Structure 1
Amino acid sequence: MEDNVYAPPTANVVADAPAAGTGRFYVVAPFKFCLLFFFTLGLYQLYWFYMQWARYSRRHPQQTVWPVARAIFAVFFAHSLAKRLDEAVRERGERSDWAPIATATAYVVSQILGNVSDQLAARNIGLPYSDLIGTAMLVPIGLSLLRMQAAANRASGDPQGDGNRRLGPANYVWLVIGAVLWLLLFSNYLL
């Protein structure tokens, strides 16, 4: 023990678990991610991409990153995000057990197929198959983003996403909006 009463404390005061919102990337628990993505018919991905790029931009202020543009035009930036997630996982000294390029490519191809089939359905071409294909593309899109989310969680030191596991009031609002969207979608199939 030191005799100097004016010396700063020497105890380790850094918390072991990262606080919510302080990770390198946007952290979300897998169940919460799936719930929000599928209930909103994939609209959640806009917010998800925005948050990933916003966190990256905050940690790299020397780089010009426009999170809104990268969220809107995600098909052009998915590979870049996957690469950065993989680099961050490796920087933590963890083994990278996912294929970032293949995952981003699966996202881009599925997103393009989904958009094309949605456009065909909007023009009454190939109904009901074009509409069903557009809806079915939510599965590979969601699964590829879930793989990227797992890497984001690991890169942020929260592999299970415990820092963002609970649903907040805004999440419930989006779940209700998503339920209405699903009802509208199913009513089109039934009528």
Structure 2
Amino acid sequence: MSENLYAPPATPVVDTQRVAAAGTEFFVTGTTKLVLLYFATFGLYPLFWFYMHWARYKRFRRQPMWPVARALFPIFFVRLLADEIDDRLRRENQRHAWSPGANAVWFIVLSIVSTIASRIPESVSPMASWLPVFLLPPTAWSMVNIQRAANLACGDKLGALNARLGWANWLWLLVGGVLWLLVLVGVLLPE
């Protein structure tokens, strides 16, 4: 049998990191990246975060669902996501000290309180308008706990496949930084 020495290789060249990330059941990302984007976007990052988790889940499980709806109404689906992640950990016999239910409930309660507080007029309660800002850290904490479990369930404990900030992430950080700066200037300037 004669081989053509000048023919290109028959083995396809594949970006293994991209394939590994696309083939996971859940969205894999670094927790530092998650927290940075969560704060920079004033808490809007969960829209993307939940969408990515459910889109990966849908593709992996080949189940009909609307990831967009689950991202827009996360308080109705965060518990299900946490339970699915926990089920995956159990199927893989992975030990992870966390409470999926408690983290989901924590996220739900904080999201509801934040939404209600943001609707209270400042004339009624000046502190109510600041409550959503104060609730950003504990809400981020519940998301980080869920993300750590998702990373572990996908075989990437640290989320290294998606830990680096891309150009779009830097753009969001820049816009968020400017908005945070404007908020601080508004707070510090005398009336």
Fold conserved between structures, TM > 0.5: yes
Which shifted more, 158-167 or 35-44? Answer: 35-44
The yes-or-no answer on 1:24 pairing with 2:20 is: no
Please list, as runs of the form range in 1=range in 2, the aligned pairs for 1:66-85 lying within 5 A after superposition. Answer: 66-85=66-85
For residue 150 of structure 1, report the CA deviation from its aligned partner.
0.4
Equivalent residues, number: 174
Over the aligned positions, Cα root-mean-square deviation in angstroms equals: 1.9
| Residue of structure 2 in register with 1:57 after alignment | 58
**Cα offset, 1:89, TM superposition:** 1.2
Q: Tell me the amino acid that sits aligned with residue 135 of structure 1.
A: V
Equivalence map 1:132-147=2 (5 Å): 132-147=130-145
Structure-2-length-normalised TM-score: 0.85
After TM superposition, give the deviation of residue 190 of structure 1 in Å. Answer: 2.5
Distance 1:157 1:103 in 2: 21
Q: CA deviation at 1:167?
A: 0.6
Distance 1:139 1:26 in 2: 21
> CA 1:131 to 1:188, structure 2 compared with 1: closer, same or farther past 3 Å?
farther
5+ residue gaps, structure 1, are 1-14
Residues 21 and 27, structure 1, Cα contact 8 Å, conserved in 2: no
Aligned to 1:164: 162
Q: Tell me the amino acid that sits aligned with residue 117 of structure 1.
A: A
Identity %: 40
Which 4+ residue blocks in structure 1 deviate beyond 6 angstroms?
Answer: none
CA distance in 2, matches of 1:187, 1:115: 24
Between the aligned partners of 1:124 and 1:64, the Cα distance in structure 2 is 46
Q: 1:93 deviation in Å?
A: 1.1
Q: Deviations over 1:31-71 (max 9, x none)?
A: 1111111121111111000000000000121x322110000
Contact 1:90-1:96 within 8 A present in 2 as well:
no
- 2: CA distance between counterparts of 1:155 and 1:109? 25
CA distance in structure 2 between the aligned counterparts of 1:168 and 1:103, rounded to whole angstroms: 28
Shift of 1:19: 2.5
TM-score, structure 1 as length reference:
0.85
Structure 2: unaligned runs, 5 residues or longer: 1-15
Cα distance, 1:189 vs. partner? Answer: 2.1
